[in-house]
Chain A
Amino acid sequence: MKLFERESINHYSMLQSLLLAGPLLLLLGIFYLYPLLSLFPESLMKEGHFSWEHYQHFFREPLYPFILLRTIRIAVYVTVICFLLGYPVAYFLANIRRQQLATLLMICVLLPFFTSILVRSYAWIVIFQTKGLINNLLISLGLIENPLSILYTETAVIIGMVHIMMPFMILPIYSVLKNLDRNLLRAARNLGASAAKAFIKVTFPLSLPGVGAGVMFTFILSLGFFITPALLGGPKTLMISTLIEQQINRLLNWDFAGAISVVLLLTTIVVVAIFDKIVGLDKIYKE
C-alpha cells in the first residue's frame, strides 16, 4: 500500500502520473467514454435533425417514467436486503479465528461469481415453479394446500437479484472490517462499553466506507439488471433495461434508446449525489 501514500505520489510530477495512467486512460477514453458521450448527440437527433423530441416523448408517455420509478424501487429493495443479510456475513467472516473455516466460507461467498447469471436464474426457476422444490416441500409438510405463485412475481425477481448481488455487498464490508484496528475495540471495551455499544459506537461507524462501497455497487448494478427480471419476472417486473433493449434490437430506434440511457445515467448520478449528501462518499476513498 506504500505506493498510494501521499509522499510517494509526490515523487512523480503531474505530467508523469498522467503519462503513467496514459494507456489505461486511452483505452477507457476510446472504448468507454467516447461511446458513452456519443450517446448524447445521438439522443438529440430525430431523422437527422436536432430535436428534444425523444426526451419529450420519454416524459410525455406515462410508460417510461413509471418503469424508471419501478426500476429504482426494485434496486432500492435489493440494496437494503443485501445490506441486512450481507453485513452479518461479512462481520462473521472478518472475525473467524480458524483459517480453514474462513477460507471455506469465503469460497461459499465467491462461488456464485463463478456461475453465469443465466444458469443461476434458471436454477431459481426450478426452485420457484408451481411443481418446484419450495412448493413440493411446503405441500408435503402439509403447510399449504395449493401451490404458491412465486415464479413470475416481483418477489422472485428480488430474491434472484439479491442472490447475485450479495458478493458485491459482502466483499467491500469484509475488507474494511478485516483491516479494522482491533485496539480501538479493546479500548472501548476496556473503558466499559458493552459488546453491543462497542459495535454501535466503534465498529459500525468505522465500517461505513465498506458499507458505502457495497451499497453503491449493489444499487448501480441493480439499476441495469436485465436477464433476471426477464426470466424470473413477468410483465409486472419489466425494468428499464428491457425497454432499452427493445428499442435497440427490435425497433432499431437507437436515438430513443440513447435518450432512455441518458435519463437512466442522469438518474443514477442524482441518486448517488443524494446518497453522498447523506452518507458521505468521501469516506470510501480515505480510510
Chain B
Amino acid sequence: MTRTPFFRCLWIHLLIGLFVVTLAPMSGLDNALAERDHIVVQTWGGKLGEAQQKAFFDPFAAETGIKVIGVEAGVSVGGKLAAMQRSNNIEWDITTGEYQSYNQKYYDNGFFTEIDYSVVTDTQNLVAGSTQKWGVAQYLEGVCLVYNTKVFPEGRQPKSYADFFDVEKFPGPRAMHNWGGPSDNLAIALMADGVAPDDVMPIDFDRAFKMMDKIKPHVKVWYTSGAQLVQALLDEEVVMAISTDGRAKSAISMGAPIKIVWNQSFYYLAYNTVVKNSPMTAAAMKLLNFCNRPEQQAVFTQVIGYTGANKKAVQYLPESLQKEQSTHPANIDRVFNFMMIKNAEWAVDNIEMIDEKWNSWIAR
C-alpha cells in the first residue's frame, strides 16, 4: 500500500483544519466569559481620544489601579456592537461620543446595560437630559453657523440660518454635513424658513426639501468628516458652513478667518454607555461616575475644545476659555439641546425613513 502515507498525511491536515475552525468561535466564547483585568473603551481616536485618555482614563487608573485602554473605532460602532453580541465576544466595555439617537437604537437592540445609578451618583450638576437609562452624557457638541470674516466684513455679516439660505444677499459656496443623522440639516432648513424649533418635528419634508433645493447648487462641500470641514474652512473653499463648535474652534486656532454665530445654535449630548454582557460592568460603572468630575472635564475641554456636561466644569477652566463654553452662564440660555425640542423622539423613531429620504434627495 503505497498510498497509506499520503492519506494519513491528508487526514492529519483535515483534522487540523477541522480543529481550527471549531476552535475559532469557541475562543470567542472564552473571551466573553473570562474576567478581564482592564477596561476597554471605544473612542473616536485622534485628539478626542487623547483628551479622554488624559482627563479620564489615566487618572482613573492611577486612583483605582484598574487599567483603561482606549480603542479607536468611529464609523462602524453599530455594526461592531451587533457583531459582539451575536458572537458573544465582548471586546469593548464602554462606548463613547455617540448621540442619543443612535444610542437609543443600540439600546433597543440589546447592546447596552442599564446604568446603575447607585454607583454613578455624581450627576446633580449635569445639564438637562444627561442621565439616560442607557448612558450618561460626557460632553456637549454644538452645531452652529460659521462664516468667513474676509468675505463678510462688519455690517454685512450673516446672523441666522435664514441668512445661510439667502444666496442673493450672501453669495458664495457653503458647506454642510452629510454624515449620519440628516434630521438636523432638515431642521435647520425649516428654522431658516421661520419655523420655531419646537414646531420642527415631525419634519415637514416637502417644506424642508424645498428650502434645501434652493441651496443645493451652492453647497460645494458635503463633508463626511470633521477634518474635511476644517480643511475647507482653512482653504477658504467655502464662505459659510454649518459646523460643530469643536471643529469651528480648531479651525480658528489653526488660523481660519471665521467667526461663530451663536444665535439659533443648538447642541447634542455625547454619551458614555456600558456594553451589555461586559465582563467589566462593575468597574465600567465606576469609570462612568469618575467621568462626571468637573475638574477632569475641564482638563478634557482644554485638550479638545468640547464643553463638559457638568455645568461646574467651566469654573475650573482658565478665564479666557470660560466664555467660549455653551455651559457658561452667559451662553446657556442662548443655546438649546436638540434632543429636548418638542417631539424630538420622532426623529429617533423614524431614523431609517429620514435617512432614505435624505439619500434620495442628495444622491441626485
| Chain A residues in the interface with B (C-beta under 8 A) | 16, 19-20, 22-23, 26-27, 30-31, 61-63, 66-67, 70, 129-131, 149, 152, 230, 234-236, 238, 243, 245-246, 248-254
Contacts and interface: CB of A to CB of B under 8 A. Distances in A.
A84 to B, nearest CB: 28
B87 interface: no
A152 B221 contact: yes
A131 B235 contact: yes
Contact of A30 (B21, B220, B224): B21
A243 B79 contact: no
Interface string B12-36: 0110111001000000000000000
Interface residues of B, number: 38
17 contacts: A19-B7, A22-B10, A23-B16, A26-B17, A26-B18, A61-B356, A63-B359, A67-B363, A230-B224, A234-B222, A235-B363, A236-B364, A249-B76, A249-B80, A251-B78, A252-B78, A252-B79
Given A129-B231, A130-B235, A19 B360 contact: no
Contacts of B7: 19
B77 A249 contact: yes
A250 B78 contact: yes
Nearest to A27: B17
Nearest to A147: B237
A252 B105 contact: yes
Given A23-B14, A235-B178, A236-B363, A63 B21 contact: no
B235 to A, nearest CB: 5
The 8 closest A-B pairs by CB, nearest first: A249-B79, A235-B362, A63-B360, A23-B17, A248-B79, A249-B76, A249-B78, A130-B237
A interface, by DSSP: helix, strand, loop or mixed? Answer: helix
Interface string B314-327: 00000000000000
Given A27-B17, A70-B363, A238-B359, 15 more contacts: A22-B10, A27-B21, A31-B21, A63-B360, A129-B231, A129-B237, A130-B235, A152-B221, A234-B221, A234-B222, A246-B355, A248-B79, A250-B78, A250-B180, A252-B106
B60 interface: no
Contacts of A234: 178, 221-222
A73 to B, nearest CB: 13
B75 interface: yes
A243 B237 contact: no
B257 to A, nearest CB: 14
A104 B82 CA distance: 47
B338 interface: no
B351 interface: yes
B209 interface: no
Interface in B44-82: 75-80, 82
Contacts of A20: 10
A1 B23 CA distance: 36
Contact of A251 (B80, B355, B360, B363): B355
A124 to B, nearest CB: 13
B13 A22 contact: yes
Contacts of B102: 250
Nearest to B20: A27
A21 to B, nearest CB: 11
A254 B82 contact: yes
Contact of B359 (A19, A130, A149, A243): A243
Nearest to A24: B17
